[in-house]
Amino acid sequence: MPTRIKICGLTRADDVQAAIDCGADALGFVFYDRSPRHVTLAQAEKLLVRVPPLVSAVGLFVDAPADTVRATLAAVPLDQLQFHGAESADYCRQFGRRWFKAVPMRDLPSAKAAAAWLAAYPDSSAFLFDAFGQAQMGGSGEAFDWSRLPPTDRPVILAGGLHVGNVGEAIHRFRPFAVDVSSGVESAPGVKSSAKMRA
């Protein structure tokens, strides 16, 4: 099965179109105002209208009030929710959408610790393994030690420091369901490079 590709942190219409033209399976939009890739609802409305059928639009949230998530869902057509903070499983499942949880690998010193962390999210549709810890909510461009990936029966989305120089190795070694790239395909924070996305 081919590895899916999610391009996250899109902020510009031209970048959304370039990601679609490159064949991305999913596009990520960051609703976290401390991120340089943050989009407002007004921006998101203009960007998501460009997303065609069969390409997933994913909304990324970090410890957002539940009412904020609901207001976002009422305003823009998100297919899935990505939770990147300390949200509980009960919190994540309340919105009636498919969701997946980002795993803070910097805070989990071993595969055993990571496996215990995953057990708290039994109905996450997938797990996104990223280099971040609770002090840094992703987007750092740093990779983690991929050998610490714990076993799971859920689809694995690999993130954190992926770029054209290492993504092939990651796919070859671990056969993840998907890879999630953001800073690795940028020319500046929030500004994607069409050449890097194509590569």
User: Is 92 part of the annotated catalytic residue set?
Assistant: no
The C-alpha atoms of residue 2 and residue 17 are separated, in whole angstroms, by 22
Spatial CB neighbours of 85, under 8 Å, sequence gap ≥ 6: 61, 62, 63, 64, 134, 137
Residues forming beta bridges with residue 159, ordered by sequence position = 180
Cβ–Cβ < 8 Å for 86, 106: no
Token look-up 């971040």 returns 132
Among this protein's residues, is 22 annotated catalytic? Answer: no
Residues with Cβ within 8 Å of 148's Cβ and at least 6 positions away in sequence, in order, are: 105, 108, 110, 111, 114
Torsion of CA 138, 154, 121, 130, to 10 degrees: -10
Give helix then strand counts, H and E, for the chain.
7, 10
Active-site annotation holder among 8, 15, 92, 180: 8
Among residues 14, 15, 92, 130, the one annotated as catalytic is: 130
What residues are annotated to the active site?
Answer: 8, 130
